[in-house]
Structures are given as structure tokens and as C-alpha cells.
Amino acid sequence: MLKVVDLTVEYTDGTRAVESVSFSVEAGENVAMIGANGAGKTSLLLSLVGVLMPAAGEIHLGEAVLNKKNLREIRSRIGLVFQNPDDQLFMPSIFEDVAFGPRSFGSCEAETAERVNQALRSLEIGHLAARSPLKLSGGEKRLAAIATVLAMNPDFLLFDEPAAFLDPRARRSLIDVLSKLPQGKLIATHDLALAETLCSRVLLLQKGKLAADGGTELLRNAAALEAAGI
């Protein structure tokens, strides 16, 4: 289980991006996180992998509690897919991009190659292995970015606006891919239809606070969405 307890996140200038938020995500559960721009969705995701360390509260992954000493372990078990795939694809080829994580964590070349190939096969993009990320479509880049995370064999996946920049066909393909991945997922999105298709629970953030935690009927609650600026 991924569990967040009274989490508060602050930036160095004192801006409080997330305030006293608590929730959990079970293994295999898909949870959407919605909210207006500036509601704290990205900040919360970044805190779950220690890019932003909590100012208060705790983040639990099973028996482990995130701290500066165990960041390496946490990041091997929680994978974050950024909104812009170009933030995760920076090597000459997709194979090298996907291999970067396992190599950084000490995998030998044989194990790295197996992890890369398995991740690419699972997303049906093995044909992209030798391609430069500069030559890929938006949908291909998105899948390649997901592969960089899957190669670490994480327990949970975090997505920041996974449908951003995608045309309708690529969006449909992405939804199909995400529906088949077995990991627990926390998906920050403005795409309410995607959230309803993929997720069984919805977290609604409003000005850094958790305004609601419920079923997908929340996505059709016009009053709650309006109050949250959606």
C-alpha cells in the first residue's frame, strides 16, 4: 500500500503547495487525482518520490517511510511519468533511455537488456528500441517514457497528465495500455473521461487541500467540480 498521512509540501519561498493531505492507494488500484491548475497535483506527485521532501506528514510505502536515507529504495518502487515525455527521454536511443534506470541502480548488462526488452514488449513498442526519441510521435514518446519507468519493476506508477499533447488515436491507445498495467496507479489529470474509464476512485484537490475522496460519481458532481475551479 502507498499511504500518505497529513502531508504538507512547501517550496523554498514558503509557498505551501499541499496542506495536510491524507489518502492511500492499494496495490493494483487506479486512483485519479483531479483539480484546477495550481491545486497541488504535481507537487504532491513529486513529493511521493522525494523530489520535494515533505515539510510535515509521512509517506508510507509498505513498511517503509520515505526519508532522505531511503530515497533510492522508494524511487525503485514508485515510478513517476512526467507530463512532458521529453523530460524523461534524453539518450540517443529509446533502448538507452529505458536502460538508464536499471543501470543507475546497478543492474548488470544482461539483466538491464532483459528489463528493457520486457518493458518495451509489454507496451508493444519493441520496434522503437533503436529509434531516437527526437524522431518519435507524441504517442510513441509517451509510451517510451512509461517504459523507462516499467524497466524498474515498480510497485506503483504515478502519472502527471498522461493524455497531454496526445491526439485522439494516441489517447485511446494510451488508455488501453494503462488499463492493462497491473501496478497501482495515481493519475493526475484534467481529462475527466480518462479518469472515469481507468479509475475506481477520485481525489479532488482544491488549493492544496483534499476536498473530496470518493467514487467516480465525483466526476459528475457539478457543484463540487465548480467549487474546485474545474
Distance CA 91, CA 99 (A): 10
Burial 120-149 (b: 16+ CB within 10 A, else e): bebbebbebbebebeebeebbbbbbbbbbb
Per residue in 152-171, pLDDT (tens digit) is 999 999 999 999 989 999 99
**What residue ranges define each of the domains in the chain, with the CATH number in brackets?**
2-227 (3.40.50.300)
Per residue in 67-109, pLDDT (tens digit) is 999 999 999 999 999 999 999 999 999 999 999 999 999 999 9
Geometric angle at alpha carbon 113, from 108 and 118, rounded to 5°: 130
pTM: 0.94
Radius of gyration of the chain from Cα atoms?
A: 17
